């Protein structure tokens, strides 16, 4: 069972999450990457919805990055989760 989400530290936020090495998990922790892809408005709506549910701070997501498809962007959130 997954519980107690924990945001990454401020140092890792300054790097592109797709280029940085994954943080070394502690025992009973895993690092996961959550990717959201869509229109800028749709992606922002998901970010704000997850923020309102206290899943992640809106500022914890990487900046929106164009995917190469017209009108499509993506963003990534790196989270450490406790696992049983």
Q: Which of 44, 34, 78 is nearest to 60 (CA)?
A: 78
Interatomic CA distance for residues 73 and 5, integer angstroms: 25
- Please report the pLDDT score of residue 25 as a whole number: 57
**pLDDT tens figures, 28-84:** 888 899 999 999 999 999 999 999 999 999 999 999 999 999 999 999 999 988 887
- The total number of residues shown for the chain amounts to 84
What's the structural domain count of the chain?
1
- Please report the pLDDT score of residue 36 as a whole number: 98
Q: Where in the sequence is the domain holding 67, given as residue range(s)?
A: 2-13+35-83
**In the structure, what pLDDT confidence band is assigned to residue 26 with cuts at 50, 70 and 90?**
low
Furthest CA-CA distance within the chain: 42
pTM of the model: 0.65
Q: Which of 18, 36, 47, 19 is nearest to 72 (CA)?
A: 36
Domain assignment present for residue 24? The answer is no
Domain assignment present for residue 54? The answer is yes
Phi, psi of 3 (to 5 degrees): -155, 165
């Amino acid at each position: 069972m997954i519980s107690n989400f924990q945001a990454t530290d401020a140092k890792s936020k300054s790097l592109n999450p797709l280029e940085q090495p994954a943080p070394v998990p502690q025992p009973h922790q895993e690092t996961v990457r959550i990717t959201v892809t869509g229109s800028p408005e749709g992606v922002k709506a998901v970010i704000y919805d997850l923020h309102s549910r206290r899943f992640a701070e809106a500022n914890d997501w990487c900046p929106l990055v164009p995917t190469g498809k017209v009108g499509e962007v993506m963003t990534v959130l790196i989270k450490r989760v406790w696992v049983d």
